[in-house]
Each structure stands twice: as C-alpha cells, then as structure tokens.
C-alpha cells in the first residue's frame, strides 16, 4: 500500500503543477491582443499540450486515490471534506479545458486580471487538502 500512496503523491503533485501553470498561460493569452499572432498561437500550443499531458496524470492520481480509499476505507469527516475538494478540483480541471477551447476558438473569455485570480484556486485547494490529510481534524 505504501507504493500506491507514493505514486498517488507523485501524480497529485504533477497534476497540481499543471493546474498551477495552465491558468498562468491563460493570463498570458489574455494579454495578447491579436489572436492570430505567433505569440498567441505559441501560447495556445503550450496550453493544449499541457492540458493533454496533465489530464491522464489527473486520472492516475484519482485512480490511485480510489485504490487507497478501498484499501483503508472511507471514514472520518476529514476524508469526506478532502473528497469534496478533489471533486471541486476535477470541476476546475474541466473548466480549464472549456476555457482552453474558447481560447482555441479565438475568444479569450476573460481578462488577465480574472485569470490571475482564477490561478489562485488550486493553491487554496492544495493548502486545504494538505491540512486535512496531515492534521485529520475530527468533525
């Protein structure tokens, strides 16, 4: 079970790295005025490749999380809260995919300031999940 936990952590860290960087690319996309420029197209290519790379990593992280869940059981309020946060993170990941699709269509849906705030969501989720996993508060 320790091997499963170790690989789960590796994939979770990798997934978060992608979720930290992808919205940062959106910030840069929103700052480019011409959607046909080489700069915009290069950023778009980076975003598409990153999203395609990070999605299977997310699936592996979640799959290994389920394996741990079935191995250790699903008990404790902290685990319910963590599971809810992970579900929110999956929704955030899907939302990133939809934002990317809009950028591919040449319609940057928001300004760079909005994307800067959007970029902070996975940081807050990571802090909350780490506290829940390490402290395991009872509620």
3-state secondary structure of 74: coil
pLDDT of residue 100: 98
In angstroms, the Cα distances linking 116 to 18, 65, 135, 136 are: 15, 29, 30, 31
Residue 74: is its pLDDT beyond 80?
A: no
Would you give the distance in Å from CA 18 to the centre of its chain?
A: 6
DSSP per residue, 54-89: HHHHHHHHHHHHHHHHHHH-S-SHHHHHHHHHHHHH
What would the two tokens of residue 79 be? 């685990």
Give the pLDDT score at 70.
85
Please write the tens of the pLDDT for every residue from 18-36.
999 999 999 999 999 999 9
pLDDT of residue 129: 96
The predicted structure's pLDDT at residue 77:
86
The count of structural domains within the chain is 1
pLDDT tens, residue by residue, 80-122: 999 999 999 999 999 999 999 999 999 989 999 999 999 999 9
Which contiguous run of DSSP H or E holds residue 132? helix 121-135
Q: What's the pTM value of the predicted model, to 2 decimals?
A: 0.93
User: How many residues in total does the chain contain?
Assistant: 139
pLDDT, mean over the chain = 95
Question: What confidence score (pLDDT) does residue 41 get?
Answer: 97
pLDDT value at position 53? 98
- pLDDT number for residue 76: 78
Write down the number of H helices and E strands in the chain.
Answer: 5, 0
Domain that holds residue 17: 2-135
Instruction: Answer whether residue 1 shows pLDDT above 80.
Output: yes
């Amino acid at each position: 079970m320790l091997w499963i936990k170790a690989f789960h952590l590796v994939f979770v860290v990798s997934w978060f790295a992608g979720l930290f960087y992808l919205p940062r690319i959106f910030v840069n996309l929103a700052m480019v005025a011409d959607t046909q420029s080489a700069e915009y197209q290069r950023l778009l290519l980076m975003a598409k490749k990153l999203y395609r790379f990070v999605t299977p990593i997310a699936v592996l992280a979640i799959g290994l999380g389920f394996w741990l869940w079935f191995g250790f059981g699903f008990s404790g309020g902290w685990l319910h809260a963590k599971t809810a946060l992970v579900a929110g993170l999956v929704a955030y990941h899907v939302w990133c995919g939809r934002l990317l699709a809009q950028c591919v269509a040449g319609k940057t849906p928001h300004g760079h300031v909005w994307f800067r705030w959007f970029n902070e969501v996975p940081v807050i989720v990571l802090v909350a999940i780490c506290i829940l996993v390490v402290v395991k508060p009872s509620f």
